[in-house]
Amino acid sequence: MRVVLQRVSEASVTIDSNKVANIGNGFLVLLGIENEDSQEDIDWLCKKIVGMRVFSDANGLMNENITSFNGDIIVVSQFTLHASIKKGNRPSFIKAAKPDVAIPLYKAFIQKLEIELGRPVQTGEFGADMKVALVNDGPVTISMDSKHRE
């Protein structure tokens, strides 16, 4: 399971001209799911996301996490995070989980993140053509892969 975590001052998701998610300060989480992913991957990533100390404290140092900062989160499914570009110029998405595997894991990820955060998170819509807008704050962008916990 892979995520790209972006600290934002604002972010939104629009589907068919309808804004379905909108936050101010917080995280935009792009989530890619593989066939081999499990609840263990979800648990590890959600704990990391909520514990990530990348928000400024009173001294301007990145010491606050999303809960102490009282920020919000949007989660957007993005199978392209598992693109393979080993051969040619057309990406292969063979490692990305198909919807029958990915949707239950996507829903479990959101549920676990809400438990860790202590409040609801906003989302895009799995499989939809979404327009994601954001203002990356910092910029702070962190990629995490539950299979490579370095």
Dump pLDDT digits (tens) for 91-107: 888 888 999 999 999 99
6 is catalytic: no
Other CB atoms within 10 Å distance of the CB of residue 3: 23
Question: Catalytic residue among 27, 55, 69, 79, which?
Answer: 79
pLDDT in tens, 106-139: 999 999 999 999 999 999 999 999 999 999 999 9
pLDDT in tens, 53-90: 999 999 999 999 999 999 999 999 999 898 888 888 88
* pLDDT > 90: percent of the chain: 85
Q: Is residue 148 part of a domain?
A: no
Residue 138, in any domain of the structure: yes
**CA distance linking residue 102 with residue 123, whole number of Å:** 15
The yes-or-no answer on residue 14 being catalytic is: no
Residue 9 covered by a domain: yes
Structural domains counted in the chain: 1
94: its two tokens: 């063979």
Catalytic residue among 78, 122, 123, 126: 78
Name the residue range of residue 129's domain.
2-143
Q: Model confidence over 5-26: pLDDT tens digits?
A: 999 999 999 999 999 999 999 9
Is 149 part of a structural domain of the chain?
no
Q: Which two tokens stand for residue 116?
A: 């860790």
Looking at residue 65, what is its pLDDT? 97
What is the CATH classification number for the domain harbouring 137?
3.50.80.10
Q: What is 37-58 written as a DSSP string?
A: --HHHHHHHHHHHHH---EE-T
Is 130 a member of any domain?
yes
Predicted pLDDT at 92 = 84
Which is nearest to 21 in space by CA: 67, 73, 85? 73
Maximum C-alpha span of the chain: 49
Residue 85: the pLDDT is: 85
Residue in this structure with the two tokens 């890619």, named with its chain if needed: 32
Q: pTM score, two decimals?
A: 0.94
Query: Do 34 and 148 meet the contact criterion of CB atoms below 8 Å apart?
Result: no
Indicate whether 150 belongs to any domain: no
Domain-embedded: residue 95: yes
Active site residue 109: no
